[in-house]
A and B are shown apart, each in its own frame.
Chain A
Amino acid sequence: MSEPIRQPRRGYSVRSLPGFAVVAVFTFFALYAPILILVAFSFNAGTSLAIWEGFSLRWYAQAAANEAVQEAAVRSLILAGVAASVATVAATMAALATTRTRRFPGRTMIYALINQPLMVPEIVTAVALLIVFAWIKVATGHTSMVYLISAHTAFCIPFAYLPIRARLETMDYTLETAAKDLYASPWKVFSRVTLPLMWPGIIAGYMLAFVISLDDVVITEFVKSAGQETLPTFMLGQLRRVVTPEINAISTIILAAGAILVSLFFWLSRGRR
């Protein structure tokens, strides 16, 4: 028996899968090449979107000096901040109610309902909100940011809910039992044990909701009142007229902000147990 016995391979080896590398390279190219071109041309000195004329920060300067951009950016940040905050509070309570209670009839139903905004096509929600808010606007004459905020809050809730729930599900339930055993009242159990342990999930949920809100075009476009441009809707409006590298510069900034937040999200959701 001099022939070595071949060990059965455990699972698949990426190296030995034929064609895997080609598909992987093509996929990453298709995903990131256009974005890289956009980022590169945001630093273009010339006005062309196709011809490289040297490095410059002029479009960033121009974007920063543009009052319409400033106003839209501030509005976007306020909107995302408020909507993500409200959504995170609601999502935290929902996550507690769906994981830290005895099973009750309809719990799975509630879980499905919370996540439903992920399934419903955004355009349908947008049209529905447009109609309902139009009634309210006509009836009350009120046209503040409250419509945008409530719409954004609603679609942010499932995004905040999922990481918080995931965190709660991996948390050892006996820790709360132990706190109770050590004379902690229900409120103390929550404030001293449950909340500190679920905090990374809450932060992750907040950041995800923030990015989703910052990024939204469809619902915002339908719900906003006149003059309530957010950064994405402002950019959409600009593109209808003339495309300048200023758009590239704004896109790059949003991209960077999003990348930082999403990286933080992954880091936190992986973080300490």
Chain B
Amino acid sequence: MESYSETAVEARRISKIFPGETEVRALDDVSVSIHRNEFFTLLGPSGCGKTTLLRVIAGFEPPTMGALFLAGTDISRLPPNQRPVNTVFQNYALFPHMSVANNIAFGLEMLGKPKDEVRKTVDDMLRLVRMEALSARRTSEISGGQQQRVALARALAPHPEVLLLDEPLSALDLKLRKEMQIELKRLQNETGITFIFVTHDQEEALTMSDRVAVMNAGKILQIGSPQEIYQRPAERFVANFIGESNFLDATLSGHTATLKAGGAHEVDPPEGVSDGTVSVLVRPEHASVRVGEPKTNEMAATVETVVYSGEATTLHLRLGTGEALKARLPNSPGGGALPGQGTAASVSIAPGAVTVLKD
């Protein structure tokens, strides 16, 4: 257990209910504790409550129930302008009637900082986001990527305890998005500010984050490092949302899962899963396929489709049980012999690659 000094933000049993004809429970008893100086990502499909949680932390939405702590202090009732928390908005929300420099200076001026300190910090921020040359421009006169960087600089300038980022990269094209992902990591390292990042893009979440919280229907399903989330998802939803997955039926007995399609595998079942019929996850890249009769711990399968995608080939297989299985095989320079479409094949699964799911 970490002490308060290491915790930047702590949400305690927060619920947010939007009243109306159909009551919407946007957040359902959410508890999470975000470490200081951490790149924390809220990941989930649209409508899962991730943006609502961000808005509760920013102070734009009061929680219906629960409490919010910042560095150990209850800030649940504090208005947004009194929270040392700044936001980078999805549409950037730059002030169109101000120059780039005045946008960045805004927060500092509102805090009543002396003029020369404001000027110095603005210069530092312009340098940090590499926008020195455009400081006098209007925000309508710069490109989307540049607006993005100004929005970041404006939110970082008052040096908040926590920076909230609401899908800030979604409006950028792929190349710019990749650049900004690296840029964001660099900014987080250089400033030492806690970043809470909201996205529906699993790849973005895995690349940038120290920890990821996967959300669905107003609840946090799992919190962990990108590796944990990808390799040991707790539930089918998490497994399905992140990366490609195969779900197979199996029988669990202690630390051994016997697949219905054949083969026994050593597993480390999550808490609360008892022996009997379970669902297990196998990632496509953890299955290998060869031509020939199945040996021990292998499964018989028929190749239905072969999809070539440059660095890998994906085989869509049908197992003896009727279950579908995707196997993703890296392409070697020589181009090894892969089973062709319609042929019989044997599938083996790498040791430790079978993950038991909670549901």
Contact = CB atoms under 8 A, between A and B. Distances in A.
Interface of A: 172, 174-175, 177-185, 188, 192-193, 196-197, 272-273
Contact of B81 (A175, A180, A272, A273): A180
B219 interface: no
B4 interface: no
A181, A183, A188 interface centre (most CB from chain B within 10 Å): A181
B226 interface: no
A189 B93 CA distance: 14
Contact of B96 (A181, A188, A273): A273
Contacts of A184: 81, 106, 110
Contacts of A272: 96-97
Nearest to B91: A174
A182 B89 contact: no
Interface string B58-85: 1110000000000000000001111001
A174 B89 contact: yes
A181 B110 contact: no
A179 B106 contact: yes
29 contacts: A172-B91, A172-B93, A174-B91, A174-B93, A175-B95, A175-B96, A177-B93, A179-B106, A179-B110, A180-B80, A180-B81, A181-B58, A181-B60, A181-B80, A181-B155, A182-B81, A182-B86, A182-B107, A182-B110, A182-B154, A182-B155, A182-B158, A183-B107, A183-B158, A184-B81, A193-B95, A197-B97, A272-B96, A273-B140
A196 B107 contact: no
Question: Which 8 A-B residue pairings sit nearest by Cβ, starting from the closest?
Answer: A182-B107, A183-B110, A178-B93, A174-B93, A184-B110, A180-B80, A181-B87, A183-B81
A90 to B, nearest CB: 25
Interface string B88-129: 010101111100000000110011000000000000000000
Contacts of A196: 97
Nearest to A177: B60
Contacts of A178: 87, 89, 93-95
A177 B158 CA distance: 16
Nearest to A188: B110
Interface residues of B, number: 25
A180, A185, A193 interface centre (most CB from chain B within 10 Å): A180
Contacts, number: 62
Nearest to A178: B93
Contact of A180 (B79, B91, B96, B140): B79
B77 to A, nearest CB: 15
Contacts of A273: 96, 140
Contacts of B80: 177, 180-181
B110 A175 contact: no
A237 B59 CA distance: 63
Contacts of A197: 96-97
Nearest to A174: B93
A101 to B, nearest CB: 15
A4 to B, nearest CB: 36
Contacts of A188: 110
B169 to A, nearest CB: 17
A93 B252 CA distance: 68
Interface in B220-262: none
A150 B133 CA distance: 54
A261 B250 CA distance: 79
A192 to B, nearest CB: 8
Contacts of B79: 180
A119 to B, nearest CB: 31
B60 A182 contact: no
Contacts of B154: 182
A182 B106 contact: yes
A184 B59 CA distance: 13
Contact of A181 (B86, B97, B140): B86
Nearest to B111: A183
A192 B95 CA distance: 10
A188 B112 CA distance: 12
A178 B154 CA distance: 10
A185 B107 CA distance: 11
B60, B82, B93 interface centre (most CB from chain A within 10 Å): B93
Nearest to A184: B110
B161 to A, nearest CB: 13
Nearest to A197: B97
